[in-house]
Amino acid sequence: MAVVEAWPNVVRVATQTERAMADNPQTSNPTPWMIAALAASAWGIVAVTFASLAPPSLVPHVFYSYHIEHFAAFYVLAFVAAAGLPRQRLAALCFALIAFAIVLEVIRMLTPAHRLSSAEDLICDVAGVLAAYAPILIGQFRDSVTRVQSDG
């Protein structure tokens, strides 16, 4: 059930979830770690965009294989996005990062001066996102099972 909340010049409907999150001190105020994770996410998006679209001579190589670089970049980006946005559903974050990877690959494919885009790069990007979120989902599943067992 929704409750109408009124502020000066603003009227909106707050859902039960929003009210519960506002009452929870762990989610109502961003912590310094959340702010740092958001900053890391923003810089990560800039870095991944630059590394994907810049000429290859300007991009530093961290690993021997560029497939591992794709995987690692999106793994770290997904991890810091999940840490910086704890209120967001993981499915929405996952979808957004996979859409970001697809957009980058399409832009690379349409850029004539850039090396060819490949499905392998996109697969490594998606695998990095899914690998970062898998332990989080397993932890949430374990918490829900523990909660159900303790209630019953």
- For 83-121, what is each residue's pLDDT tens digit? 998 888 889 999 999 999 999 988 888 877 666 567 888
Sign, Cα dihedral of 94, 99, 105, 107: negative
Contact of 133 with 78, CB cutoff 8 Å: yes
Q: In this structure, are 13 and 35 located in the same domain?
A: no
Neighbours of 111 (CB within 10 A): 13
Q: In this structure, are 74 and 119 located in the same domain?
A: yes
pLDDT of 147 above 50: yes
Q: In this structure, are 20 and 36 located in the same domain?
A: no
- What's the pLDDT band for 1 if we cut at 50, 70, 90? very low
Rounded average pLDDT over 52-78: 87
- What's the pLDDT band for 79 if we cut at 50, 70, 90? very high
Q: In this structure, are 57 and 85 located in the same domain?
A: yes
Rounded average pLDDT over 47-56: 87
- For 4-38, what is each residue's pLDDT tens digit? 455 444 444 445 555 555 555 555 578 889 899 99
What's the pTM? 0.74
How confident is the prediction for the chain on average, in pLDDT?
81
Percent of the chain topping pLDDT 90: 37
Q: In this structure, are 22 and 36 located in the same domain?
A: no
Q: In this structure, are 18 and 73 located in the same domain?
A: no
3-state secondary structure the chain: CCEEEEECCEEEEECHHHHHHHHCHHHHCCCHHHHHHHHHHHHHHHHHHHHHHCCHHHCCCCCCCHHHHHHHHHHHHHHHHHHHCCCCCHHHHHHHHHHHHHHHHHHHHHCCCCCCCCHHHHHHHHHHHHHHHHHHHHHHHHHHHHHHHHHC
Q: In this structure, are 55 and 11 located in the same domain?
A: no
Q: How many domains is the chain built from?
A: 2
Q: In this structure, are 70 and 113 located in the same domain?
A: yes
Q: In this structure, are 12 and 61 located in the same domain?
A: no
- pLDDT higher at 103 or 148: 103
Q: In this structure, are 93 and 140 located in the same domain?
A: yes
pLDDT of residue 62: 82
Instruction: Tell me the residue range of the domain where 92 lies.
Output: 31-151
Query: At 28, which amino acid appears?
Result: S
pLDDT of residue 24: 55
Contact of 129 with 74, CB cutoff 8 Å: yes
Q: In this structure, are 23 and 46 located in the same domain?
A: no
Q: In this structure, are 8 and 49 located in the same domain?
A: no
